[in-house]
Structure 1
Amino acid sequence: MTVRPVRPPVPPFTEQTARQKVQAAEDAWNSRDPERVALAYTEDSEWRNRDRFLTGRAEIVAFLRDKWRRELDYRLRKELWAFTGDRIAVRFEYEWRDAAGQWWRSYGNENWEFDADGLMRKRFASINDLPIEEAERRVLAPE
C-alpha cells in the first residue's frame, strides 16, 4: 500500500487557506532549497516557467538548482490574486543579482492547480525582468 503525501491546506480553498498556501510557497522558495520546494508538487507536476516546460519533481529540482546558482541573493514576495476550488492565482516579485553584480527585479503571475491532497499539479509562470540599482531594492529579508 502506497501512502500519498498530503500538503495542507487542501482544496477547496477558502480565502484563509489560499493565503496560507501562498505564504507556504513564499517561505519554501525563500529557503532556496530545491528539494524542499519540490515536495509541494506532485511527482508528475507540469510547469511552464518563462519559456521552459518541465515535468516532474526531478526536473523541478534540477531547474531550481540551476536557477539559484545564477540568481544570487534571491528574495521573493508572493501575493494572493484570486482563488477558486482547486486553483490559486498569485502575483509576485523577486529580486536577485547576477554574477557581475547587476541587481534585477523579476515580476510575474502564476496560476496553480492542486490535487485533492494539496500538492500542486500544475504551475504556469509568466515573468518579466527589470534591471535595478541595489539602492532600489524593496524585497528584503526580514531583520
Structure 2
Amino acid sequence: MSLAPPFTEETAHVKVKKAQDLWNTQDPTTVAKAYTPDSIWRNRHFFLTGTAAIEDFLSKKWQKEKNYRLRKELFAFTDNKIAVQFWYEYQDAHDGMKWKRCYGLEDWTFAEDGRMRKRQMSGNDVEISESDRWFKEGVDVNTVEISETHW
C-alpha cells in the first residue's frame, strides 16, 4: 500500500497512525526523515524550515517533554493534505516534572513522494494530575476512550 498522495480514507488513516508511531519513538533524526529537505513548519509560535531545523527543534522538545506519549486521529483529508486531531501527555522537565496534556490540531501537506512538505500545528497545554492521565505506561494509546468533551 502506497502512503504517498493521492490519499484515500484508508491510506490517510494509515499515514496518521504511522506518524503517531514515529513520533512516539522520540528519535529526532528518524522523525526528521519523514519531511522534505525544505519542509516548512509552524509549531505553535515557532517557524522552521528544513530537516536540520526540524531535528534541532524535536531534540529540544523531547529534552523538555519527558515520558511523552502521543495519539493522533484522522480529522479530514484531500488528495495531498491531511488534518489530524491529537493529544499527548508528558512530564515537563522545565516545570518541576508536572504532568501536562497537549490538545491540538495539525494540517499537513505532502510531496509526491509521501514526505511532508508543510506542517502547521496549534496546541494548548493543560496541567493534569497523575490520576487524570490517559496514556499510562503499558496502555495502548489507540485503545484509550477519549470522550467527546475532549474531541
Partner in structure 2 of residue 5 of structure 1: none
Matched, 1:101 2:97: yes
2:117 and 2:39 map into 1 onto residues whose CA distance is: 4
2:11 and 2:138 map into 1 onto residues whose CA distance is: 23
Which of 19, 24, 30 in structure 1 is aligned with 2:13?
19
Deviation of 1:71 (Å): 0.5
2:137 and 2:19 map into 1 onto residues whose CA distance is: 15
- Length-normalised TM-score, structure 1: 0.92
Which structure carries more relative contact order (alpha carbon 8 Å, separation 6+)?
Answer: 1
User: 3-state DSSP class of the match of 2:112?
Assistant: coil
- What code does the residue aligned with 1:46 have? I
C-alpha change, 1:59 and 1:111, in structure 2 (3 Å) is: same
Partner in structure 1 of residue 148 of structure 2: none
The answer for unaligned runs of 5 or more in structure 1 is: 1-7
Partner in structure 2 of residue 75 of structure 1: 69
Deviation of 1:135 (Å): 1.1
The count of residues paired between Structure 1 and Structure 2 equals: 136
Matched, 1:45 2:58: no
Which of 89, 107, 131 in structure 2 is aligned with 1:111?
107
Partner in structure 1 of residue 144 of structure 2: none
- Length-normalised TM-score, structure 2: 0.87
Which of 55, 62, 83 in structure 2 is aligned with 1:89?
83
Partner in structure 2 of residue 140 of structure 1: 136
Partner in structure 1 of residue 143 of structure 2: none
- What code does the residue aligned with 1:45 have? S
Instruction: Write the mapping of 1:121-132 to structure 2, written as runs, cut at 5 A.
Output: 121-132=117-128
Structure 1 runs of 4+ off > 4 angstroms?
none
1:142 and 1:76 map into 2 onto residues whose CA distance is: 13
2:14 and 2:101 map into 1 onto residues whose CA distance is: 24
Deviation of 1:101 (Å): 2.1
C-alpha RMSD over aligned residues:
1.0
Sequence identity of aligned pairs in percent? 54
2:87 and 2:100 map into 1 onto residues whose CA distance is: 10
